[in-house]
Amino acid sequence: MELSNDVVTSFMNSLKNASDWLTFAYDAPFARAVVFGVPIGGHLFVEGLLLVVILFLLSQKSYKPPKRPLTNKEIDELCDEWTPESLIPPITEEMEKEPPVLESAAGPHTVINGKEVVNFASANYLGLMGHEKLLESCTSSLEKYGVGSCGPRGFYGTIDVHLDCEARIAKFLGTPDSILYSYGLSTTFSAIPAFCKKGDIVIVDEGVHWGIQNGLYLSRSTIVYFKHNNMESLKNTLEKVTQDNKRAKKLRRYIVVESVYQNSGQVAPLDEIIRLKEKYLFRVLLDESNSFGVLGESGRGLTEHYKVPIDKVDIITAAMGHALASEGGFCTGSSRVVDHQRLSSSGYVFSASLPPYLASAAITAIDVIEANPKLLVKLRDNIKALCTGLSGIQGLEIASDILSPIVFLVLKKSTGSLKSDLQLLQDIADQVLKEHSVFVVPSKRSTLDKCNLPVGIRLFVSAAHTESDLQKAYESLKSVAASVFTGQN
């Protein structure tokens, strides 16, 4: 009892001592001082101490694991270890196949391996290849200017024939101005990045060719595909896109279509497209490579065919390597469109200009087309005759439009993979060439191409083909198809 009492007493004593100390601290002289009119109580000491401790902790750096950059020895080891892939994948059998070599001009009749064959593989739609007026103007141009132009357009590569050619094309089509490019493929992939910039919206058909796909990829804009040549799908896509985006003032919007699709032979319904474009306020870019000189009464292209005034289409591009039997490409539209490209289109500014003899060939070709509209009628009749002759062929069917100068035959039943389809079509084409001397080609697909349309055999009809040529073509195709497809039905 006494022990516990002692413990309690000593405890009470120590507590009393502590509280005495505290009271002393509180009563210390400076504890009650008044500084700047604010009475300082003793509790302020504790708060001051707390503040100092907080500041000390904050000023300490937080813990970060120390950065250890790789030492030279480690980098050496990594570099030795690294093995790159080989530059190209191993060569397979189909890569070693060589295309047939022509020994004369690629006109309607040509010579392969010493034998004369009927040529359906050149896009010489109006038969202007080998025309004597073209050859004459080319020869005089070659003798005057030599072959190359030795410079880009900005640095003395502009020869007066280029300017004449641009004026001639503009006059023929009825637009203010046009611009010439030195290569057909580079026309689209230089013109598109000049107009479509990052953030713009572009609605494009899924069956366009590689030049347009590459141009769109380089332009870094938002790309939306719609189903091939399907106006319903286009309308729905336009509806969806305009709903999401209200900033029409700053955002440029484009629809990109081809007039006659290289990958399928379909023809785009331009009047429908123009109606939709005006409703939703988009600009239209039309690639007329396969319809310039073919469609329309005088060959002015899809706009003439559908009787749409040409200034409703904002930008028209075309390659001249088809109906005009020349090389290169052009782009036309309002003068704002054309002037803009002279400084911002990379394939125009940074590359040498078109050789002058090809520009004079193009001028002469346009003159010939304007003087002979009968060529177009002949071409149309030829296409009709070929299509009627090919109807009822076994295993293949015509997938292209009756107006298209490319007659496109696809397999009725696909074998399942792209490769085996191509192999089958290639066999058919080879057999036709060997046994019947008719030269046709299956369509090719590059590994970079994103298009998913079916492959087929393409026949490029020309106004220079005669009745007997066409007859030979469809009869031989029918017999080969019958022999190849008799096994499967």
Q: Which of residues 158-187 bind another protein (CB under 8 A)?
A: 158-160, 162-163, 182-186
Q: How far is the CB of 54 from another protein (least distance, A)?
A: 39
- Starting at the edge strand found earlier in the chain, the sheet holding 315-319 runs 177-181, 329-333, 315-319, 283-287, 253-258, 201-205, 222-226
Positions 215 through 234 that interact with another protein (CB under 8 A): 217-218
If the CB atoms of residues 325 and 387 are measured against another protein, the closer one turns out to be 325
Q: x/- site string to another protein, residues 196 to 215, per CB under 8 A?
A: -------------xxx--x-
Positions 294 through 333 that interact with another protein (CB under 8 A): 319, 321-322, 325-327
Q: DSSP letters of 251-289?
A: --EEEEEESB-TTT--B--HHHHHHHHHHHT-EEEEE-T
Site membership for another protein, residue 133 (CB under 8 A) = no
Q: Is 315 helix (H, G, I), strand (E, B) or coil?
A: strand
Site membership for another protein, residue 383 (CB under 8 A) = no
With contacts defined by CB under 8 A, name the span among 9-17, 136-144, 238-246, 305-313 that binds another protein: 136-144
Site membership for another protein, residue 100 (CB under 8 A) = yes
Positions 359 through 378 that interact with another protein (CB under 8 A): 361
Q: DSSP letters of 52-98?
A: HHHHHHHHSPPP-PPP-PPPHHHHHHHHHH--PPPSSPPP-GGGG--
Q: What angle do CA 456, 459, 463 make, to 5 degrees?
A: 160
Give the gyration radius of the chain's Cα atoms.
38
Q: How far is the CB of 191 from another protein (least distance, A)?
A: 12
Cα 25 to Cα 90: distance, rounded to the nearest angstrom: 91
Q: How far is the CB of 434 from another protein (least distance, A)?
A: 16
Q: How far is the CB of 48 from another protein (least distance, A)?
A: 50
Site membership for another protein, residue 347 (CB under 8 A) = yes
Contacts of 389 (CB under 8 A, 6+ apart): 470, 471, 473, 474, 475
Positions 429 through 468 that interact with another protein (CB under 8 A): 439, 441, 444-449, 458, 460
**H or E segment and range at residue 386:** helix 374-390
Site membership for another protein, residue 403 (CB under 8 A) = no
* Residue of the chain from 34, 46, 58, 87 that contacts another protein (CB under 8 A): 87
Site membership for another protein, residue 18 (CB under 8 A) = no
Q: Which of 359, 326, 22 is closest to 179 using CA atoms?
A: 359
